[in-house]
Amino acid sequence: MQKQNPMLTGQTGQLMRPLPEQDRIDSALKTMAIRLDKVLSESVISQWHADLGSYPIAAIEHAADWCGKNLERWPKWKQFTHAIGTWMQEREQASGQDFAPTAREIAKQRKAFYEWYNSPEAAEVRGMISALDKKMNSGKKRFYTQEELDRFKAAKKAK
């Protein structure tokens, strides 16, 4: 019987990957750690598993390989996700599919938004939000600067 990974217990409340996929991520992270001379704790590995939950396995493996070979220290999350994005972009170009919206699609979405924004339903929602905003901002101010608080305290002491 295979040893169950703590990530499969549902402690994070997320759907977890199958054990073979988790093993591939573990292997990629450990290889990157060896190349960067970094010791990983179980909590760090678990956090990376949770953060990488929505990315393709091949992209994670590519990013770990790239970071391990090209960086001098453990990658920041932005660097790692940039490497994943690069892999995904290369794959998109290789498949001949372009998932970026065209100018025509953007204009169509913008037109649909403005049509909705100017509709009676949206006007009603904007009116409700405006009324709530006025109600919340009327009367006493809820947040004060430190200077205002000091003046209030001084005024109370003066009374």
Q: What band does 66 get if pLDDT is binned at 50, 70 and 90?
A: very high
Looking at the chain, the whole-number percentage of residues with pLDDT higher than 90 is 21
**pLDDT (mean) for 69-86:** 91
CA 70 – CA 48 distance, rounded (Å) = 20
pLDDT attached to residue 15? 55
**pLDDT (mean) for 58-62:** 91
The more confident residue out of 125 and 79 is: 79
Least trusted range by pLDDT, from 30-34, 35-39, 90-94, 136-140? 136-140
pLDDT digits (tens, 9 = 90+) for 20-47: 888 899 999 999 999 999 998 888 888 8
> Please, are residues 49 and 83 in contact by the beta-carbon 8 Å criterion?
no
Residue 3 has pLDDT above 80, yes or no: no
Give me 135's structure tokens. 């109600």
Residue 7 has pLDDT above 80, yes or no: no
DSSP string, the chain: -PPPPGGGGTTTSSPPPPHHHHHHHHHHHHHHHHHTT----HHHHHHHHHHTTTS-HHHHHHHHHHHHHH-SSPPPHHHHHHHHHHHHHHHHHHHT---SPPHHHHHHHHHHHHHHHTSHHHHHHHHHHHHHHHHHHSSS-S---HHHHHHHHHHHHH-
Q: How many CB atoms lie within 10 A of CB 49?
A: 22
pLDDT attached to residue 16? 66
pLDDT attached to residue 33? 93
